Every structure is written in C-alpha cells, then in structure tokens.
C-alpha cells in the first residue's frame, strides 16, 4: 500500500506548484523575524537624567546639578537622582562655585521629582521615554495579540509546508527555507529602526506589511495530507490534480485508491492536545521535546537579547546578531539532509553549552574571545533550534502534527519568557546566566538520547504508525553463555 509521498510522486519534487508554496510560505514568515525582536528598539531605554526646571541657576550649577556615578567602571550622569533643588538654588544665589567652594559629595540628593530628560542621540522616542502614556494598556494588549499571531503563523506555515512538500524539498523548506525567511525579517528590523526612530512610526511600519499577506488565504492550498486524515479524499484529490496542472504533468486516473489513508471512522475522530499524553510512547516523546525546545528557546532568546556588547550602536548590534543566524540555518539544513536527528540535536546542545562554561574561565582582557565564544554558542543553539522544528513535524502523525507542534512550541515560549530574568542573574554573579544556560543544555542533551529517530523515514500518517517503532535487533548473552537476538523499540515506550 502506498503512502502519501508515493501517491503524489508523479508531481515531482520541484515543479511550479511546489515552488509557489515554498516561496509564499517563506515570505509569510518574514514578519516573524522583525516581530520577534522589535521590542529591542520599541522598549529600549535611552540615556536620561532628572529634569531641571527653568529656575534661576548659574551655568556652573546647572552643569553640575546631576550627580556623577560610576557604572561598569565608567563615569556617567545619574539617571535617577539630582542634588536637592532648593539647596542648589540657595547656593547658586549666594555665589558659591560647585567643586571649588562646595564639595558636591557632601550635598543631599533627591529623586527625579520633575520627571526625566531623555537623550535623542539614538532614538526620537521609545515606549520608555513616554512614561505613564494613556495608551500603555492598549499597547500591551495589542502586543499580546501580535505575539499570538506571530507564533501561530510560524507554526501553521511550518506544518503546511512540511505536509505539502515531499522528499528533499520538505527538508529544505523545514530547515533552510522557513528560517532564512525569519532571518531576513530579523535583518530588516534594524534597517527600519535606523530610519524610523520614533516608536509609533516604527511599530506602524512593521505592522502594515502584514496586511499584504491576506490574499494568501485564496492562493495557498490546504494540506492534502490533513484532508486525507479527515477522510476528505475528494478535496485532497482536487488539490493534487490542480497541482498536476501547474506542474504540467498527467495525473493518474485514481490517485489515492491504494493510499494507506482511507476514509474510516477512526480517521473522523477529532484529536486534541490530550492525545499527546494519552499513550506512554507519545507522552514520553512530547515531554522530552518540550524540555529540549524549552532549553533551546531560552538560550536563543537570552543570547539574542544579550548582544549589546557586540557594538556600541544598537542597530549594528542587532544586525550582527541576525547575520550570525544565517550560517546556523545552513548548518541545520546540511544536518537534516545527511545526519540522524538525535545526533544533530545532541551535538547542537553540547556545542552550545561548552562555550558558555568556558567564558567564565577567560581573563577580562580577553573580552573579544569571550564574545567569540558567546557567538559560537548562539550559532550552535540556533542550529539546534532550527533542527527541532523539522524534527518535531517528522515525529508526529498528520492527525495531531499541528497540535503537537503548537504544544511543544507553546511550552518552549516559557523559555523566551524567562530569558530577561536569566540575564538579570548577572547582577548577583556575572557568569550565572551562562552557567544556568550551559547546565540546561547538558541536561537536555542527555534527555534527547531517549527521543525516537526519524531520519530517512516517511512522515507517520496515523497514531498507530507512531506507536510502531522500528525494532532493532542486538545480541544478548544469556546465562548459559549463548547469544540470542533481543528486540528493542526505537524510542520511548
């Protein structure tokens, strides 16, 4: 009995139909790239200090009314205090000169009672520089909805492409195609932010292009695999025949008659997220994937947001961080083409963890080497992050593939949620974020050993196919000294 890939083999792998689906879906992911990191610019805090009201002060006192503090070994104007205004006004009126007649360190300080003055050297405005804005709640609500749409679009596009495309094109799309679309959006972000330095203009410019994707509803086809899993054979047949017209090939008289997916009562069952935990083999796979995904997501976003040290200019820093991802996505594509999935994921986790442990061993004067190690870690973690999306779609059957991908991705987002808190651990110990991420990487690498393998295997179409792991025979020495083959299930049971 033929599976789906065999049934549609007459279409070829790279005709007009597949090219259209490939490039349109990749293009639909571009907004995910600039949407995921737009907060880098929207919520950045410009340098600022307390506002000094227009009172009668001498020029010397006006220049020295803000205390000098030392931050990371550098002297900076205090961002949250000033010398008491009434005292300074009195001293100025009496003709005292700061630093000469008056020791400034002896003066009492007060908070920014009149607000803050923000530098416009980099930004015209950010959400932070408009504190207590009446639209803050609306902004947060819209940002939340935007986040839901971002991840929903990515997962839907990933699964749709993985189910429509076959063979090497499916691997190419699931790794290089989708992720390069994301990287292009990521690299576009600092370009938009550089020319639009007001947060409202930037947010509008990043949002409007998304409307151009509405026509894709009528252009992109439904997944024939999914239609077959729902027993909607006629609709799947019509889509494949339309694809044959696009590719200018002749479709057979009957396409899915011998396909292993048939219209049965069992396929009419509606699967939910609970089915990911109902059976032991699927439950184990789901939990392990969630752990690995969580670790890779936490590492990816922590290292992405921690790129301020790359360059003093935030636009250049963001662009460098985005460019690093391009070779990582090529690496994930090569790994998916030629290497087992488990080995690839474990290697990415280990290679991502080791540099993070080594950073703390370097002396401070080798800061450039520390930066190289951090970028090497991001490269490895990004590679693993890319691998996991394709790996996940390969492990689950069509009837719950979208649900499973959405579930594991949702859990992984907890990793992105804790990223700011992980970075804040550096306040207690400079290298604590690196140690935490490295430890998570080692633990997840060990857990990944128990994941099932999917390399060079057809996508499962039913729950039963996911249960039926390929059995591996290995010799076992019995008590009487003879050897006998023992069958082991490939993957968790």
Per-residue model confidence as pLDDT tens digits over 275-287: 888 888 788 889 9
Give the span between the Cα atoms of 477 and 444, in whole angstroms. 32
Give the span between the Cα atoms of 25 and 186, in whole angstroms. 17
Top pLDDT among 40 and 348 is at 348
37 has pLDDT over 50? yes
Q: Can you name the residues that pair with 259 across neighbouring β-strands? A: 2
Contact (Cβ atoms closer than 8 angstroms) between residue 84 and residue 109: yes
pLDDT at 260: 47
490 has pLDDT over 70? no
Tell which residue, 232, 235, 222, has the closest CA to residue 262: 232
Q: Read off the pLDDT band of 487 (50, 70, 90).
A: very low
pLDDT at 219: 86
Tell which residue, 305, 322, 377, 316, has the closest CA to residue 180: 322
| Residues 6+ away with beta carbon under 8 Å from 302 | 419, 422, 423, 433, 437
pLDDT at 348: 94
Share of the chain above pLDDT 90, in %: 14
pLDDT at 51: 81
Most confident of 148-152, 207-211, 298-302: 298-302
Rounded mean pLDDT, 261-272? 57
Give the span between the Cα atoms of 33 and 200, in whole angstroms. 19
Most confident of 41-50, 145-154, 338-347: 338-347
Strands 116-118 and 109-110: unpaired
473 has pLDDT over 90? no
Q: Read off the pLDDT band of 259 (50, 70, 90).
A: low
| 3-state SS string for 355-385 | HHHHHCCCCHHHHHHHHHHHHHHHHHHHHHH
103 has pLDDT over 90? no
Residue 127's φ and ψ, nearest 5 degrees, are -60, -35
263 has pLDDT over 60? no
337 has pLDDT over 50? yes
Q: Read off the pLDDT band of 148 (50, 70, 90).
A: low
Please report where in the chains the tokens 């993070």 appear, as a residue.
Answer: 356
299 has pLDDT over 50? yes
Q: Read off the pLDDT band of 258 (50, 70, 90).
A: low
pLDDT at 136: 67
Q: Which of 181-185, 450-454, 466-470 has the lowest mean pLDDT?
A: 466-470
Q: Chain-wide mean pLDDT for the chain?
A: 80
Tens digits of per-residue pLDDT, 239-255? 989 989 999 888 888 88
86 has pLDDT over 70? yes
pLDDT at 178: 86
Top pLDDT among 335 and 127 is at 335
What are the structure tokens assigned to 400, written together?
Answer: 């719950």
Tens digits of per-residue pLDDT, 228-238? 878 888 888 89
Top pLDDT among 270 and 186 is at 186
Contact (Cβ atoms closer than 8 angstroms) between residue 108 and residue 87: yes
pLDDT at 468: 67
Handedness of CA 299, 301, 302, 305 (dihedral sign): positive
Q: Read off the pLDDT band of 130 (50, 70, 90).
A: low
pLDDT at 296: 93
Distances, alpha carbon 275 to alpha carbons 78, 104, 242, 362, in Å: 56, 69, 34, 48
Top pLDDT among 344 and 8 is at 344
Rounded mean pLDDT, 288-297? 92
Distances, alpha carbon 228 to alpha carbons 90, 326, 364, 398, 490, in Å: 84, 36, 60, 9, 27
pLDDT at 471: 39
Give the span between the Cα atoms of 141 and 156, in whole angstroms. 23
Contact (Cβ atoms closer than 8 angstroms) between residue 373 and residue 359: yes
Top pLDDT among 151 and 18 is at 18
pLDDT at 157: 87
pLDDT at 308: 58
Distances, alpha carbon 92 to alpha carbons 81, 87, 153, in Å: 19, 9, 61
């Amino acid at each position: 009995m033929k599976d789906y890939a065999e049934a549609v083999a007459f279409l070829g792998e790279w005709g007009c139909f597949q090219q259209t689906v490939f490039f349109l879906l990749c293009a639909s992911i571009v907004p995910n790239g600039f949407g995921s990191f737009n907060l880098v610019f929207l919520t950045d805090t410009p340098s600022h200090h307390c506002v000094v009201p227009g009172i009668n002060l001498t020029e010397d006192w006006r220049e020295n009314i803000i205390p000098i503090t030392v931050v990371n070994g550098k002297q900076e104007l205090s961002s949250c205090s000033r010398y008491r205004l009434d005292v300074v006004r009195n001293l100025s009126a009496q003709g005292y000169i700061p630093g000469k007649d008056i020791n400034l360190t002896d003066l009492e300080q007060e908070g920014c009672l009149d607000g803050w003055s923000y530098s416009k050297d980099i930004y015209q405005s950010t959400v932070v520089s408009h504190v207590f804005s009446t639209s803050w709640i609306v902004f947060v609500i819209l940002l939340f909805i935007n986040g839901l749409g971002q991840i929903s679009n990515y997962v839907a596009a990933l699964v749709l492409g993985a189910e429509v495309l076959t063979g090497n094109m499916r691997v190419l799309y699931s790794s290089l195609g989708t992720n390069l679309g994301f990287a292009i959006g990521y690299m576009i972000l600092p370009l938009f932010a550089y020319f639009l330095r007001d947060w409202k203009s930037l947010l509008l410019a990043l949002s409007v292009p998304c409307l151009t994707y509405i026509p894709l509803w009528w252009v992109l086809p439904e997944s024939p695999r999914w239609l077959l899993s729902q027993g909607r054979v006629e609709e799947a047949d019509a889509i494949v025949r339309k694809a044959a017209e696009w590719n200018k090939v002749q479709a057979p008289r009957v396409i899915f008659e011998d396909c292993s997916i048939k219209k049965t009562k069992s396929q009419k069952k509606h699967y939910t997220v609970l089915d990911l935990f109902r059976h032991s083999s699927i439950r184990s796979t789901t939990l392990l994937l969630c752990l690995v995904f969580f670790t890779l997501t936490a590492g990816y976003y922590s290292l992405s947001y921690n790129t301020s040290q790359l360059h003093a200019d935030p636009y250049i820093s963001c662009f460098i961080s985005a460019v690093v991802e391009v070779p990582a996505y090529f690496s994930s594509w090569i790994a998916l083409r030629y290497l087992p999935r488990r080995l690839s994921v474990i290697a990415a986790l280990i290679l991502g963890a080791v540099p993070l442990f080594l950073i703390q061993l370097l002396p401070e004067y080798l800061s450039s080497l520390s930066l190289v190690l951090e970028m090497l870690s991001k490269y490895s973690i990004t590679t693993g992050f890319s691998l996991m999306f394709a790996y996940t779609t390969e492990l689950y059957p069509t009837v719950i593939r979208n649900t499973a991908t959405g579930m594991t991705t949702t859990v992984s987002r907890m990793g992105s949620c804790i990223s700011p808190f992980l970075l804040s651990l550096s306040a207690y110990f400079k290298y604590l974020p690196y140690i935490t991420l490295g430890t998570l990487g080692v633990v997840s690498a060990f857990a990944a050993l128990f994941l099932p393998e999917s390399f060079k295997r057809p996508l499962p179409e039913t729950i039963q196919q996911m249960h039926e792991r390929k059995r591996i025979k290995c010799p076992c020495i019995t008590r009487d000294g003879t050897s006998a083959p023992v069958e082991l299930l490939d993957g968790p049971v």
